[in-house]
């Protein structure tokens, strides 16, 4: 799938290239294994080589990220409206406390969470799902999710301009950042699970 994306970006009509950048950035929120940033960086490399417009590449990446984030937010809202159908393990006292903590967090720091989402590749969709579950209004979701996408994509464009059209270097940078982020996410999850288990034992 990725090879087809990249082939179309390089050899297909330009409007298809922009559409694929939008799709990759959006689908990443629905199906995280899709390497949206890899596709975006390839588009940036082509923009450096003047095959694609910088402006349209940037707008495509930003629009796709925002659409994908809104889809994840909508799923979170749907979950919030159907709590009665949640599986039993999500209705335990520990899970209920965790959900209440998420909602309190979004009440206090929802804007900060959404602004940070694009900088954490492994967790992007969960930020918007959390906003939906917390019933955060769509207006702030669009504004702060859009700010995050705009900042991250500006960073990608800056890296692309600095590195030039060297696709191998761009891909290596993206992979290293993704791996480092994944390691941090795993460490954070282990910490959360350990705290969850500890709280459960203490409550018992």
Residue 199 makes CB contacts below 8 A (sequence gap 6+) with 94, 97
C-alpha distances in Å from residue 128, one per residue of 13, 51, 90, 98 = 33, 33, 19, 17
d(CA 14, CA 51): 8
Q: Taking the model in full, what pTM does it have? A: 0.77
Helices 36-48 and 2-11: crossing angle in degrees, nearest 10, is 20
Residues in the chain: 204
pLDDT in tens, the chain (204 residues): 555 655 666 666 677 778 878 888 888 887 765 666 777 777 777 776 667 788 888 999 899 999 999 999 999 999 999 888 888 777 777 777 778 888 888 999 999 999 998 888 777 888 999 999 999 999 999 999 999 999 998 988 888 777 765 667 766 766 776 676 667 667 766 665 666 556 556 555
């Amino acid at each position: 799938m990725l090879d087809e994306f990249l082939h179309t970006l390089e050899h297909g009509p330009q409007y298809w290239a922009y559409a694929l950048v939008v799709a990759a950035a959006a689908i990443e929120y629905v199906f995280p294994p899709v390497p949206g940033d890899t596709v975006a960086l390839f588009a940036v490399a082509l923009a450096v080589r003047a095959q694609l417009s910088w402006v349209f590449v940037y707008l495509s990446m930003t629009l796709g990220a925002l659409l994908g984030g809104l889809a994840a937010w909508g799923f979170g809202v749907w979950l919030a409206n159907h709590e009665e159908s949640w599986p039993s393990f999500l209705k335990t006292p520990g899970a209920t406390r965790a959900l209440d903590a998420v909602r309190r967090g979004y009440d206090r720091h929802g804007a900060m969470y959404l602004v940070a989402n694009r900088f954490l590749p492994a967790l992007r969709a969960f930020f918007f799902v959390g906003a939906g579950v917390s019933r955060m209004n769509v207006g702030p979701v669009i504004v702060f999710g859009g700010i995050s996408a705009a900042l991250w994509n500006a960073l990608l464009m800056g890296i692309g301009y600095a590195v030039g059209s060297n696709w191998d270097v761009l891909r290596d940078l993206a992979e290293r950042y993704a791996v480092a982020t994944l390691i941090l996410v795993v460490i954070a999850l282990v910490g959360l699970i350990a705290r969850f288990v500890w709280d459960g034992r203490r409550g018992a």
